[in-house]
């Protein structure tokens, strides 16, 4: 099966656009940087696809939305915020060497954005296609979730341009994920003169960490991992405050409910200590069933391509949880997300753009594809 009426990918143009996006740094929560990044993304979209890419303002920074017109058929989903602070580019500039492109955000997920844009550019008829590039995926998608869900329901199918799994595999399942914060309040006192007069928040935090870690059920895919802790002010003061941050991953809605209830039920061990819990499993699990139909189409387009379920979350979790068919991991082939060795395999970029083009064509013209008709 080959895409209907497409043109070939221009790898030099893809590298040019990737360089453009990487060289506009876009750390999450930096509103000035994200505004510049959103404008750069919009300019690339308009240059390659025509039409107007609209900046949708939010408290987290501008999201970018483009539509090819007509009845909505497929939403291509991505984000332009990255995890790297300003100044990373000076230390690690965009580079193309030895078949790889490197630079901050190149794999997660600017390479995927470029491939998606060029994939749509291959198609002469772009009606029904929408692209949504959000500004806050790396920090929970709190400002973009409603818009993501609205456009996913309107379009009826979602292609997520997050980076591919190892070996280029697509992502057909994701764990639900969330972050919890546990704040502990005790009472300060002199650690030498009257330690018993205090309520040691650090000791209470130690009890809470053990209770929290015991909530994990790795045998069924539930991980509960304390990741950050802070307590105390001076070495001779009983600490009055402590805080613990916890990463949670679950594979089922039932485990999401159990974990959230367990955090709500946490109780102090020390007399007069107080605890306050905030957070939730904000991204629901992405069931593999949501991707089954679209993955079958991908297999027709690129025989031999594989699929995996992964622990990390994406905005595809939201759309899949709504029952909207969602296929993830369609972005760059490479690795090193969130790390200094992040890279994209140049030779795979055109093939992935062609895969996007083929999937979009199949969704635009379901009458030509039995697998899509059966979704």
**Hey, what domains does the chain have and what are their CATH numbers?**
11-175+286-373 (3.40.630.10), 176-283 (3.30.70.360)
Question: Can you give the pLDDT at residue 208?
Answer: 98
Segment 180-206, tens digit of pLDDT: 999 999 999 999 999 999 999 999 999
Grade residue 369 by pLDDT with cuts at 50, 70 and 90.
low
Q: Say if pTM beats, i.e. exceeds, 0.85.
A: yes
Q: Cβ-count burial of 370 within 10 angstroms (0-12 exposed, 13-18 middle, 19+ buried)?
A: exposed
Residue 271: the pLDDT is: 97
Cβ contacts of 90 within 8 Å, gap of 6 or more: none
CA angle 115, 88, 12 (to 5 degrees): 30
Mean predicted lDDT score pLDDT of the chain: 95
Share of the chain above pLDDT 90, in %: 94
Q: Note the pLDDT of residue 207.
A: 98
| Average confidence (pLDDT) over 240-268 | 97
**CA-CA distance, 49 to 84, in Å (whole number)?**
29
β-bridge partners, 187: 199
């Amino acid at each position: 099966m080959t895409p209907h009426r497409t043109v070939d990918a221009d790898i030099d143009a893809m590298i040019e656009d990737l360089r453009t996006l990487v060289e506009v740094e876009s750390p999450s929560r930096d509103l000035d940087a994200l505004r510049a990044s959103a404008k750069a993304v919009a300019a690339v979209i308009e240059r390659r696809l025509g039409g107007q890419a609209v900046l949708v303002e939010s408290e987290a920074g501008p999201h970018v939305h483009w539509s090819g017109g007509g009845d909505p058929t497929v939403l291509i989903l991505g984000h332009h915020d990255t995890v790297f602070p300003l100044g990373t580019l000076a230390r690690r500039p965009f580079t193309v060497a030895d078949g790889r492109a490197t630079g901050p955000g190149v794999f997660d997920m600017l390479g995927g954005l470029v491939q998606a844009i060029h994939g749509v550019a291959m198609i002469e008829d772009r009606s029904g296609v929408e692209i949504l590039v959000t500004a806050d995926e790396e920090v929970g998608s709190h400002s973009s979730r409603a818009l993501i869900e609205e456009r996913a329901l309107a379009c009826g199918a979602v292609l997520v341009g997050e980076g591919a799994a190892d070996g280029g595999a697509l992502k057909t399942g994701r764990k639900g994920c969330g972050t919890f914060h546990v704040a502990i309040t005790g009472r300060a006192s002199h650690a030498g003169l009257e330690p018993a007069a205090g309520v040691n928040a650090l000791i209470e935090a130690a009890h809470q960490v053990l209770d929290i870690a015991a909530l994990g059920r790795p045998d069924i895919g539930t991980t509960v991992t304390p990741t950050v802790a802070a307590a105390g002010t001076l070495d001779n003061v009983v600490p009055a405050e402590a805080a613990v941050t916890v990463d949670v991953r679950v594979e089922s809605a039932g485990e999401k409910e159990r974990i959230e209830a367990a955090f709500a039920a946490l109780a102090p061990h020390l007399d007069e200590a107080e605890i306050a819990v905030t957070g939730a499993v904000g991204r629901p699990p992405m069931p593999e069933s949501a991707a089954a139909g679209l993955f079958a189409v991908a297999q027709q387009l690129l025989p031999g391509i594989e699929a995996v379920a992964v622990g990390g979350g994406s905005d595809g979790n939201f759309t899949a949880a709504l029952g909207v068919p969602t296929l993830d991991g369609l972005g760059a082939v490479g690795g090193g997300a969130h790390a200094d060795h992040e890279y994209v395999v140049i030779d795979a970029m055109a093939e992935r753009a062609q895969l996007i083009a083929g999937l979009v064509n199949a969704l635009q013209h379901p009458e030509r594809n039995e697998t899509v008709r059966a979704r």
